[in-house]
């Protein structure tokens, strides 16, 4: 079963996922820009380091050219220049391992003068070109300013290389005293490459960088270098050049040093730009990350808030409805059923609920008011029904009392045995009718407190129960342990047993008896009503035991189960337990467990006065007959039903007080006396039969 939160989460899942994907793409783009900026910063550092190495190689190349040109004065400067080259080479070992592999051999050949000036110049120039062509990926930078700075830096490096070549080349020319064949053309080519590189630098450089370059070439050293260049250009016809190579070298070296500083400045500008781009990319990524987190957190918060705004009022509404349906409404209905005037409980919507939830609350309020109206109407109808049933039961009870009183008077006046037998049968029917009236009062809870009597032997209670069923001749009494029950509970126990016995007889074959047994188990008394009838299924037994526990409503149950509800109400009032279980072979056994509170200890018997009355006339044939198979247990003779057999003599009447007149007898006393009288007549009839 889905919930509101899950549905809200599903609703927000797609847009949140789309936002996250877009933000992820933007973050990826920014991350790539950050990587490019960081790579550009590293590339600038590498370029500047390579240019430092190139600067020192250019110096070593010029000194080597001058030395090979015949100027031995450059030998002293060559060793420090080589040391600086080696130092910078060590710093960039991973980048320059290949280009400078043969440098040591050229140096040895230079010192031994076994290599020509042109060959040495060509070697150094080739190595410098290789270093200048190392790919640092500055051209792939995404920023325009960064790309322009990289182009300006590269053009400046090319111009510086052309100037360094010119310095080295003319250093050799000046040391040799003039151009040799083909060397003037090389010089012009170097001059043209320098001018082209400077033009490229001017196109990409910033105004400040162009001003710095102009300043470098306008210094004294720059002017001296330009003067020597003009002298070299003027000697293209092969004339001798009388120029001090040391002055040329010093002037051009100063210019190259200034250009190196300018190159480092341009590189630092590029590096600062790259760092700026990297910082910007970092801030953007952090900002985007914060935005992503805020979006996710916002989506979660919106989902939770939306679900809570719906779920909480609904949960409060459900809790309020449960409280109303389980507590307030049943309580109000019970009060109405008891006769009180109670209004329907109010149902207020949750605080802060939306209009939709308020509409649901209003609809539920209408539903509960309708339910309350129907429930109160049903409660009033039920109360009216139970009152009517109670009144009807009391009317029947009063009529039956009068009828039983009339029958008792007629029995006293009747001398004919046949007429007396008919009166006994009529008395039996009236007794059963009175039990039905009492059952009706039990069902509606109108029995009222029972009058107190002396404790009654349990066998008398069992006999009274058997006497109240129609087919009492099919009831067999087995062993009944002798105990005394509280007088206030005797009639209720007899009523309960009569219902169970009649139920067992109704569902048994006519030729099969229902057996009764009674056992004292600990401080409780167990009575078992065993039939051998059609039996019940497990589900039917469970449902029947539920009714015997007092659960359910007899007004809504089928009429055939009214006996179960009567037994359940009686058992609840007595504190007894009634359970139906399958019989050993077939049928059902009703187990009635009477609590210890209903069992009375045997008191010491006071002295009594015994008066023997004349033996009554023989009983008519219609009276209940006991089965002829007596049972003996110990030294006490017992009847076929298992009860102690009294000696065959005239009935004994024990009076502790003066015998009350007929008008003083209550219905229960009248019933008890009739039962005792009928039992005495039956014993008298059996005493005349031969004993086996």
What's the pLDDT score for residue 658? 36
Residues 609, 559, single domain; the answer is no
What domain count does the chain have?
3
Residue showing tokens 């029958």: 407
Angle, helices 183-204 vs 220-234, to 10°: value is 140
Q: Average pLDDT for residues 522-533, to the nearest whole number?
A: 92
Residues 531, 651, single domain; the answer is no
Single pTM value for the model = 0.44
Task: Tell me, yes or no, whether 97 lies in a domain.
Answer: yes
Out of 549, 583, 603, a domain closes at 603
Residue 391 above 80 pLDDT?
Answer: no
Residue 478 above 70 pLDDT?
Answer: yes
Highest mean pLDDT among 183-192, 567-576, 588-597, 641-650: 588-597
The percent of residues above 90 in pLDDT, for the chain, comes to 8
* Residue predicted with more confidence, 151 or 456: 456
Residues 497, 576, single domain; the answer is yes
Query: Predicted confidence band at 192 (pLDDT cuts at 50, 70, 90)?
Result: confident
Cα angle at 436 between 432 and 441, to 5 degrees?
145
Residues 172, 267, single domain; the answer is yes
Dihedral sign from CA coordinates of 448, 454, 456, 461 = negative
Q: Average pLDDT for residues 401-405, to the nearest whole number?
A: 80
CA-to-CA separations, 10 to 6, 13, 14, 303, 364, in angstroms, rounded:
6, 5, 7, 9, 29
What's the pLDDT score for residue 517? 93
Residues 465, 521, single domain; the answer is yes
| φ, ψ dihedrals at 184, nearest 5° | -65, -40
What's the pLDDT score for residue 602? 65
Highest mean pLDDT among 212-221, 243-252, 376-385: 212-221
What's the pLDDT score for residue 172? 78
Task: Tell me, yes or no, whether 555 lies in a domain.
Answer: yes
What's the pLDDT score for residue 521? 92
**pLDDT single digits (tens) 627-643:** 333 343 344 455 554 44
Query: What residues pair up with 529 in beta bridges, in sequence order?
Result: 516, 590
Q: Average pLDDT for residues 332-356, to the nearest whole number?
A: 70
Q: Is 637 helix (H, G, I), strand (E, B) or coil?
A: strand
Q: Average pLDDT for residues 352-379, to the nearest whole number?
A: 76
* 183-197, 315-329, 495-509, 600-614, range with the lowest pLDDT: 600-614
Residue pair 241/174 in contact by the 8 Å Cβ criterion: yes
Query: What residues pair up with 101 in beta bridges, in sequence order?
Result: none
| φ, ψ dihedrals at 77, nearest 5° | -85, -15
What's the pLDDT score for residue 361? 77
Strand 475-480 and strand 514-521: the pairing is parallel
* 39-48, 66-75, 136-145, 647-656, range with the lowest pLDDT: 647-656
Question: How many CB atoms lie under 10 A from the CB of residue 84?
Answer: 16
Q: Average pLDDT for residues 93-117, to the nearest whole number?
A: 75
* 212-216, 272-276, 515-519, range with the lowest pLDDT: 272-276
Residue pair 277/40 in contact by the 8 Å Cβ criterion: yes
Task: Tell me, yes or no, whether 300 lies in a domain.
Answer: no
Closest CA relative to residue 430, chosen from 480, 467, 388, 389: 467
What's the pLDDT score for residue 460? 92
Highest mean pLDDT among 87-101, 207-221, 417-431: 207-221
Task: Tell me, yes or no, whether 676 lies in a domain.
Answer: yes
Rounded to 10 degrees, the C-alpha dihedral 68/69/75/79 comes to -50
Residue 666 above 70 pLDDT?
Answer: no
Residue 682 above 80 pLDDT?
Answer: no
Tokens of 419: 């007429």
Task: Tell me, yes or no, whether 357 lies in a domain.
Answer: no
What's the pLDDT score for residue 524? 93
Out of 274, 292, 310, a domain closes at 292
Residues 653, 588, single domain; the answer is no
Residue 129 above 60 pLDDT?
Answer: yes
Residue pair 314/361 in contact by the 8 Å Cβ criterion: no
What's the pLDDT score for residue 527? 94
Alpha-helix runs per DSSP H in 205-244:
207-218, 220-234
**pLDDT single digits (tens) 28-69:** 776 776 677 677 667 777 777 777 777 787 788 778 877 887
Rg (CA), the chain: 64
Residues 658, 519, single domain; the answer is no
Residue 622 above 60 pLDDT?
Answer: no
Query: What residues pair up with 578 in beta bridges, in sequence order?
Result: 592
Highest mean pLDDT among 121-135, 453-467, 600-614, 659-673: 453-467
Residues 652, 591, single domain; the answer is no
* Residue predicted with more confidence, 383 or 418: 418
Task: Tell me, yes or no, whether 395 lies in a domain.
Answer: no
**pLDDT single digits (tens) 574-612:** 899 999 999 888 889 999 999 999 998 765 445 444 443
Which of the 8 DSSP states describes residue 644? Answer: B
Could you give the CA distance from residue 458 to residue 493 in angstroms, rounded to a whole number? 9
Could you give the CA distance from residue 56 to residue 581 in angstroms, rounded to a whole number? 115
The kind and range of the H/E element at 453 are none
Query: Which class for 124: exposed (0-12), middle (13-18), buried (19 or more C-beta within 10 A)?
Result: buried
Residues 637, 599, single domain; the answer is no
Task: Tell me, yes or no, whether 648 lies in a domain.
Answer: yes
Q: Average pLDDT for residues 661-683, to the nearest whole number?
A: 59
What's the pLDDT score for residue 224? 86
* Residue 492 belongs to domain spanning: 449-603
Residue pair 411/427 in contact by the 8 Å Cβ criterion: yes
452: left (phi over 0), alpha (psi -120 to 50) or beta: beta
Could you give the CA distance from residue 362 to residue 355 in angstroms, rounded to a whole number? 10
Out of 557, 579, 603, a domain closes at 603
Residues 542, 622, single domain; the answer is no
Which of the 8 DSSP states describes residue 573? Answer: H
Residues 6+ apart with CB under 8 A from 124: 57, 58, 60, 61, 64, 106, 168
pLDDT, averaged across the chain: 75
Residue 519 above 90 pLDDT?
Answer: yes
Residues 461, 504, single domain; the answer is yes
Residue pair 589/582 in contact by the 8 Å Cβ criterion: yes
Highest mean pLDDT among 105-109, 115-119, 317-321, 474-478: 474-478
Residue 645 above 70 pLDDT?
Answer: no
What's the pLDDT score for residue 25? 76
Residues 516, 559, single domain; the answer is yes
What's the pLDDT score for residue 509? 87
Task: Tell me, yes or no, whether 428 lies in a domain.
Answer: no
**pLDDT single digits (tens) 4-29:** 667 667 776 777 777 778 777 777 77
């Amino acid at each position: 079963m889905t919930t509101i939160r899950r549905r809200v989460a599903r609703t927000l899942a797609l847009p949140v996922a789309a936002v996250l994907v877009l933000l992820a793409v933007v973050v990826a783009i920014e991350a790539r820009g950050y990587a490019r900026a960081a790579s550009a910063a590293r590339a600038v550092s590498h370029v500047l380091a390579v240019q430092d190495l190139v600067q020192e190689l250019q110096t070593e190349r010029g000194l080597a050219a001058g030395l090979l040109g015949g100027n031995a004065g450059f030998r002293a400067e060559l060793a420090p220049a080589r040391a600086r080259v080696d130092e910078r080479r060590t710093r960039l070992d991973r980048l320059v391992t290949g280009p400078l592999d043969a440098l040591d051999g050229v140096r040895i050949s230079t010192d031994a003068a076994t290599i020509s000036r042109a060959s040495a110049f060509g070697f150094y120039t080739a190595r410098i070109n290789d270093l200048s062509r190392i790919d640092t990926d500055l051209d792939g930078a995404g920023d325009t300013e960064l790309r322009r700075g990289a182009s300006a830096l590269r053009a400046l490096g090319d111009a510086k290389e052309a100037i360094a070549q010119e310095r080295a080349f003319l250093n050799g020319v000046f040391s040799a005293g003039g151009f040799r064949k083909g060397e003037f053309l090389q010089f012009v080519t170097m001059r043209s490459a320098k001018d082209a590189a400077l033009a490229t630098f001017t196109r990409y450089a910033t105004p400040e960088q162009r001003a710095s370059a102009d300043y470098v070439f306008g210094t004294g050293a720059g002017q001296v270098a330009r003067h020597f260049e003009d002298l070299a250009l003027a000697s293209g016809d092969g004339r001798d050049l009388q120029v001090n190579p040391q002055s040329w070298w010093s002037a051009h070296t100063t210019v190259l040093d200034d250009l190196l500083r300018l190159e480092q400045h341009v590189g630092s500008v590029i590096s600062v730009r790259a760092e700026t781009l990297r910082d910007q990319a970092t801030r953007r990524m952090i900002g985007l990350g914060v935005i992503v987190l805020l979006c996710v957190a916002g989506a979660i918060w919106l989902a939770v808030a939306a679900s809570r705004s719906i779920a909480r009022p609904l949960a409060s509404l459900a809790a309020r409805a449960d409280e109303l349906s389980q507590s307030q409404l049943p309580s109000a209905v019970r009060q109405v059923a008891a006769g009180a005037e109670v209004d329907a409980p109010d149902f207020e919507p949750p605080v802060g609920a939306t209009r939709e939830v308020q509409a649901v609350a209003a609809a539920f309020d209408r539903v509960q008011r309708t339910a309350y109206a129907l429930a109160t109407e049903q409660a009033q109808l039920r109360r009216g029904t139970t009152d009517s049933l109670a009144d009807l039961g009391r009317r029947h009870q009063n009529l039956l009392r009068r009828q039983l009183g009339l029958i008792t008077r007629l029995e006293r006046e009747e001398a004919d045995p046949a007429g007396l037998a008919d009166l006994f049968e009529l008395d039996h029917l009236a007794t059963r009718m009175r039990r039905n009236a009492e059952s009706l009062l039990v069902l509606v809870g109108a029995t009222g407190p029972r009058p107190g009597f002396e404790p009654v032997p349990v066998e008398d209670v069992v006999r009274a129960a058997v006497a109240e069923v129609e087919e009492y001749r099919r009831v067999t009494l087995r062993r009944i342990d002798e105990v005394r029950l509280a007088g206030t509970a005797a009639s209720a126990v007899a009523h309960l047993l009569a219902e169970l016995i009649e139920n067992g007889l109704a569902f048994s074959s006519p030729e099969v008896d229902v057996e009764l047994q009674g056992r004292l188990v600990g401080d409780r008394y167990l009575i078992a009503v065993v039939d051998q009838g059609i039996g019940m299924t497990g589900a039917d037994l469970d449902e029947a035991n539920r009714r015997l526990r007092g659960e359910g409503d007899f007004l809504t149950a089928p009429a055939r189960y009214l006996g179960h509800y009567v037994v359940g109400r009686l058992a609840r009032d007595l504190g007894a337990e009634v359970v139906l279980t399958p019989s050993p072979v077939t049928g059902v056994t009703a187990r009635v467990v009477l609590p210890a509170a209903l069992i009375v200890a045997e008191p010491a018997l006071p002295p009594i006065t015994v008066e023997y009355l004349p033996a009554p006339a023989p009983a008519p044939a219609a009276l209940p007959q006991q089965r002829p198979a007596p049972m003996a247990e110990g030294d006490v003779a017992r009847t076929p039903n298992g009860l102690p057999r009294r000696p065959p003599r005239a009935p004994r009447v024990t009076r502790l007080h003066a015998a009350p007149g007929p008008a003083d007898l209550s219905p229960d006393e009248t019933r008890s006396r009739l039962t005792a009288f009928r039992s005495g007549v039956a014993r008298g009839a059996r005493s005349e039969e031969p004993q086996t």
